[in-house]
Amino acid sequence: MSQPSFNTTAAFQALHAHHAAIKDKSLRELFAADPSRFEQFSIKAAGLFLDYAKNNVTADTMAQLFALARERQLEARREAMFRGEKINTTEHRAVLHTALRAPSLPALEVDGQQVSVDVHAVLQRIQAFTTAIRSGEWLGHSGKPITDIVNIGIGGSDLGPKMVCQALRPYQHAHLNMHFVSNVDGDDLDAVLTQVDPQSTLFVIASKTFTTAETMMNAHSARNWFLRTGNDVQESDLRKHFVAVSTNLEGVTAFGIDPANMFPFWDWVGGRYSVWSSIGLSVALAIGFERFTEFLAGAHAMDTHFRNAPLEQNMPVILALLGVWYRNFFDYRSLSIAPYHQDLSNFPSYLQQLEMESNGKRVSLDGSMLDVASCPIIWGNVGTNGQHAYFQLLHQGSDITPVDFIATLTASNQLPGHQAALLANCFAQSEAFMRGKSAEEVRAEMQAKNVPTEEIDALLPHRTFPGNRPSNTILMTALTPASLGALIALYEHKVFVQGVIWDVNSFDQWGVELGKVLASNILGELTSTPAPLSHDSSTNGLIEMARAAL
C-alpha cells in the first residue's frame, strides 16, 4: 500500500499555504485571541490528559492536519496493523504488539497462528515462573532463594524492561534487586557481578534473535562467571540460574539453557515494541504478575482509544500530527522529552529507540527517496535537572525545539512540599516557552529596580526571551502500571501515525546492520594474527593503535 509523495498531496499543499499565513502569529497572540484554547486543545484518553494548547495551531490547522491523515489513509492503515496484515513489508511480518496486551477474546488468528491463544499461554507461564521466584519457592542450586535478577539484553531487550522497572520502583518486590546489563563494555557486567552472589542470582538472557553480539558476549561471560565462582557448581546447575527470553529456540538450546526455561515470543513483535511480551519477564519479576497485567491493560486501553476514536479526538493521532506540523512545515529538527518525574529518567532514552529506530528512515515503502524530512532527533532528561543544563538553549538558543512535558499530579514519594515544587517548575517552563519575555517587559522590570538606562540598554538583548516556543503537557494522576502502559502505547501509536504520514516502514531497522558487520570484521583484525589492513588510513591507524595496546 504505497502512497504518493507527501508534498504532492492536496493536504500538504493546503498546509503549506496555511503555514505561510499563520507562522508569524505568536502563541501569545493565539492565547490572547481565544481564551478557550485550553478547553479546545486538550483531550483525555486511557487515564492520560494531553494539553496541546501551547502549540502554533488554530482550529483550522488541526482540521487540515486531520485531512492530511485521511488523505494518507491512516484509518485503513491502522486497521491493517490491528488485523495482523504484514505491514512490515521489508521483513514480510505482521506488527502485533497490540495483541500482546489484548484480552484473549475476541480471538485473533494470523497466518494460521492462534495469536491470542499463544499470547495467553505464555502469560500463564510467566505468571507461574514469576510467582515461584517472588515467593521464594524457586531455589538456586545450593538451596538459596533468588535475591538478584540480572537482565542481559540490549536495545528493545533492555531499554523497555529497564525503563519500566525504574518507573514502577515503588511497586517492586522488597527482596529482589533488579540489574540491567547491556553494553559490550565489560565494565557494565563487571559492576553487577561484583554486587551479586552466584548462588542467589538469576540471569534473564533477553534477546529476540539470540544472536546479538553484545548480549551473547555478556551472556557467555555471565555463564563462565557462574561456573567459575559458584560453590561446587555443575553445568546442570545452570537451569536454576539462567532463563532465556527469545524467538530462537535453537540458539537458546545451543547456549545451554533448558528449553523449559525459555519464554518465547514471535517475529511479529518488534524489539522496540517487545516490553509487553516475554521481554517483560524482568518487569513481571519486579512488580509481580498482577501488576504486570495492569500494565498491559493500561496499554490496551490506549489501543482501544487509538483504534476506535475519531481522528479529531484521538490522542496519539493529535500528538503525531503536531510533530509532523513542526518537522515538515516549521523545519524544527528535534523534540525534547521532559518527564517531571524522577522515576521516568530512562523514558527519553526509551523513546529514542522507539521513535528514531522506527522512523529514522529516508526512503518510503516503495523504496523511493522521501521528499520531506522524517523523524526529528529525540532527546531529553528529567525536570528539573534539564532546566539547569540545556534549557538555556531551549529558551534563548537559535533553534526552536518543541518539548513534551510529562508529569503526574501526585507523587510516588511522601516527602512534603516536593510535588508542588516539581509541578510548579513544569508548568512555569511551558508558560515561559510560550510567553517569553519581551524587551518592553524587561525594560519595565529593570527600570522599577532603578537600573541605570545605559545598563538596561546593554543587557536588554541578553535578558529578552523570544517565547513562541511550543510544548505539549501530558498529565496523569499517578505513575502506576496502568498509566505507564497507556503512556508508552500513546507514543507507540504516535510513531505509527507519523510513519504512515511519511510513508516509511516504522518496523524495520536495516540502519543498524552496517556497523554490526564492520565491527565483527574489525574484531577479527584486533584479535587474530595481525594481517595487512585495507581500511581507510584513519580506521587503519586506530586499529594499529589498539593492536599495540591489547
Which of 5, 197, 91 has the alpha carbon at shortest distance from 506? 91
The minimum distance between CB 85 and ligand F6P, in angstroms, equals 21
What string marks each residue from 98 to 137 as x (binds ligand F6P by CB under 6 A) or -? ----------------------------------------
The pair phi, psi for residue 279, each rounded to 5°, is -60, -25
Cβ nearer to ligand F6P, comparing 134 with 208: 208
| Active-site residue, from 357, 361, 494, 525 | 357
157 scored as a contact of ligand F6P (CB under 6 A): yes
Cβ nearer to ligand F6P, comparing 472 with 509: 509
In whole angstroms, what is the distance from residue 104 CA to residue 429 CA?
A: 44
- Indicate if 357 belongs to the active site: yes
In whole angstroms, what is the distance from residue 522 CA to residue 157 CA?
A: 25
Cβ nearer to ligand F6P, comparing 127 with 209: 209
In whole angstroms, what is the distance from residue 276 CA to residue 293 CA?
A: 10
Return the residue of 208, 240, 341, 469 that touches ligand F6P, per CB under 6 A. Answer: 208
Which H/E stretch holds residue 30?
A: helix 27-33
Cβ nearer to ligand F6P, comparing 55 with 207: 207
Return the residue of 260, 369, 512, 549 that touches ligand F6P, per CB under 6 A. Answer: 512
Return the residue of 166, 172, 199, 207 that touches ligand F6P, per CB under 6 A. Answer: 207
**CA–CA distance from 197 to each of 138, 201, 226, 232, 269 (Å)?**
16, 6, 9, 14, 34
161 scored as a contact of ligand F6P (CB under 6 A): no
| Active-site residue, from 44, 175, 220, 516 | 516
209 scored as a contact of ligand F6P (CB under 6 A): yes
What string marks each residue from 301 to 340 as x (binds ligand F6P by CB under 6 A) or -? ----------------------------------------
The minimum distance between CB 520 and ligand F6P, in angstroms, equals 14
In whole angstroms, what is the distance from residue 289 CA to residue 134 CA?
A: 10
**Residue 326 DSSP symbol:** I
**CA–CA distance from 207 to each of 18, 156, 266 (Å)?**
47, 9, 12
156 scored as a contact of ligand F6P (CB under 6 A): yes
CB of 205 closer than 8 Å to CB of 245: yes
Which of 123, 183, 129, 124 has the alpha carbon at shortest distance from 157? 183
Cβ nearer to ligand F6P, comparing 54 with 208: 208
In whole angstroms, what is the distance from residue 244 CA to residue 207 CA?
A: 8
Catalytic residues: 357, 388, 516
- Contacts with ligand F6P by CB under 6 A lie at 154-157, 207-209, 212, 215, 271-272, 357, 509, 512
